[in-house]
Structure 1
């Protein structure tokens, strides 16, 4: 591996680390920030605006890449993130902090979309699998480092430094990007007209969907929102079919790509269940510290990372369908074991190795199939939309799994069981879909 490749990998790790650690590192300081800034409204707004900004930024990256080189967009994303971090740290009021977090989230959204596109431009398979495994596992590793780093900073300094710590990391990433993000096969065209109507309809659909899931007032608002999203979605699809340069390249959405996007969305929801609510259960019911609970879910990241170093060899022996069904079975087995041994943190930790294998396989394969199956002219747009699918799954999953975790059912004794059973149900739907789509493909080929 040459120096340039190493520089690209380090830059991608730093970019993903900054985007991912923001949730786990800031959550520790919530009580302090609330007291210090005299917050009377919901303190969780500092997370909501961050995720909202990511959702806004993700899909537009593909459009930007058609017009500008990847190096400039990466630097723009890093600059936004750095400015957002700086002003978050300098915030003297809650309003300023919320606005700063929104700017920071826009930068994170740009960087997250690029982290799916850069490996395709820079590396060939099987090395690409390894790189994407390393970058993907950063999400899990940040859940360990976040509490440690955050706790250490809060011991010696104020909460403002939780944001200032991003600035030197962002500067280092910018230096690496300037020297390494030069790709031979990169193409930019400025002749395409921006599809403003398609873009507007798309964003209305996205925010309608988020509202339908997150609204807690009257239920009929949620129902109306879902109906509006379905109607606008059909309008958007029909409109984009007629466009020469659509914002959503609908011709790319064959059965395989639709199934891949749905699988990724479903897996993002399940991952939120494990990553967010397993530590809450371990702290509230078992009495572990935030750091100890982080170590219990750490095997997800370890298995995720290790799997990607041998994914090319596994893939050579299995068909695509068998690979996915095996991954679903691995996560089902993990869920079943956790249901049996919920009171033993050590047993949970070992069981979660199976979850890491499943997440590592599905996320890496989803990304690579989207990169390889879409036409070169639409690849960047499709990867931006793919990243959005994951971001939507994360934000909607965090909310849905939160509702489910808090519910009381006759057939469950612990709240974490609700999350596991929901995950098993989602996996069952995926198994049925993968079998039915592959069966229809076989019928078609006959």
Structure 2
């Protein structure tokens, strides 16, 4: 790996680290922010607006990349994130903080989408597997570094510095981006007309989909939202089929790509169960500290990273369907082991190694298949939609897993068992879908 390639990897790590650490590092300061800014239950908006902004920003990135160079879009994302961080740190009222967090989330959404596109432009397989494994594992690593860094900052300074710490990291990332984000494969099409109708319909669909999942007031409103979302999705499909350069390239959604997107969405939901509610269980039921619980779930990131250094050798010995069934089986085995060894943090940690291999396999293969098996002119749009699928899975998954964790059953001893049972149901469903609907065939890579 030459200096330019190494610098690209460092830039991607910094970009993903800033986006990923925001949740874990800020969560420590919630009590302090509530007291300092006189906030009640609405404090949850600090996280909600950040995720909403990410969902808004993700899908538009592919459209922007058709009109300008990736280096400029990356710098815009970094600048938005930096400005949002600076304003968040300077916030003297809760309203200003919420607006600042929204700006910060827009920047994070842009950067997250780009992290899926840059590896395709910069690296060939199998090196791309390794790079994507390194970048992907940053999410898990941040779950450990976040509490340590956040706790240290709060010991020495006020909560405002939790946001200020992003600025020097962003400046370093900007320097690396300016010097390295120049790719021969990159192409723009500034003459293509923006599909405003498709873009509008798409955002309306996303709004009603998220409302259907997250509304807590009345169930009939959720049902109405689901029906409206389905109707808008149908109108969007009919509209995009008749457009030369649609915002949503529906012709790319063959059976394989649809299966890939469904799998990625489901895995994003399950990852929230492990990343968010496993630490809650470890702290509330087993009495571990935030740092100790972070170390227990760290094997997910460790196995995720290690897997990608040998994924090309593993997949050479399996069919594509076999590889996915293998990944699903590993996560099912992990769930069963955690279910029977719930009281032992060490046993849970070793069991989560299987989860890391499963998440690493599925996420990396989903991304590479989307990169390679869509037409070059649609690749950037498809990767933006792929990133959105993951972000929606994370946002919706955090809500669904929260509801699931809170349920009480007479035959279940620990709330974490609810999460495990739900993941097992999802995995069985995915396994049946791959067995029934996927057909192995020879593909010509669209590069």
Common fold, TM-score beyond 0.5?
A: yes
1:23 paired with 2:30, answer no
The equivalent of 2:4 in structure 1 is 4
The equivalent of 1:180 in structure 2 is 180
Task: Give the deviation of 1:190 after TM superposition.
Answer: 0.7
The equivalent of 1:356 in structure 2 is 356
Distance 2:141 2:323 in 1: 25
Distance 2:41 2:368 in 1: 42
Distance 1:440 1:13, change over 3 A: closer
1:417 paired with 2:421, answer no
Distance 1:382 1:439 in 2: 22
Counterparts of 1:6-405 in structure 2, within 5 Å, are 6-405=6-405
TM-score, length-scaled by structure 2: 0.98
Distance 1:133 1:412 in 2: 35
Distance 1:111 1:38 in 2: 32
Distance 2:179 2:319 in 1: 39
CA contact (8 A) 2:256 2:438 kept: no
> Is there any run of 5+ residues in structure 1 with no aligned partner, and where?
none
Task: Give the deviation of 1:167 after TM superposition.
Answer: 0.1
CA contact (8 A) 2:255 2:438 kept: no
Distance 2:121 2:440 in 1: 33
Distance 1:16 1:328, change over 3 A: same
Distance 1:269 1:31 in 2: 27
Distance 1:369 1:439 in 2: 15
Secondary structure of the 1:188 match is: coil
Distance 2:437 2:69 in 1: 37
Distance 1:440 1:307, change over 3 A: closer
For residues 311-361 of structure 1, the C-alpha deviation after alignment (integer angstroms, 9 at most, x for no partner) is 001011111000000000000000000000000000000000000000000
Task: Give the deviation of 1:181 after TM superposition.
Answer: 0.1
> Is there any run of 5+ residues in structure 2 with no aligned partner, and where?
443-447
For residues 207-241 of structure 1, the C-alpha deviation after alignment (integer angstroms, 9 at most, x for no partner) is 11110000000110000000000011011001100
For residues 122-169 of structure 1, the C-alpha deviation after alignment (integer angstroms, 9 at most, x for no partner) is 000000000000000000000000000000000000000000000000
CA contact (8 A) 2:11 2:177 kept: yes
Distance 2:239 2:441 in 1: 28
Size of the aligned set, in residue pairs, is 442
Distance 1:349 1:439 in 2: 36
The equivalent of 2:445 in structure 1 is none
Secondary structure of the 1:286 match is: coil
Secondary structure of the 1:43 match is: helix
RMSD (Å), alpha carbons: 1.0
Task: Give the deviation of 1:41 after TM superposition.
Answer: 4.3
Secondary structure of the 2:42 match is: coil
Distance 1:440 1:132 in 2: 25
TM-score, length-scaled by structure 1: 0.98
CA contact (8 A) 2:321 2:440 kept: no
Task: Give the deviation of 1:412 after TM superposition.
Answer: 1.1
Runs of 4+ with deviation above 4 angstroms:
439-442
Distance 1:74 1:30 in 2: 30
Secondary structure of the 2:22 match is: helix
1:407 paired with 2:407, answer yes
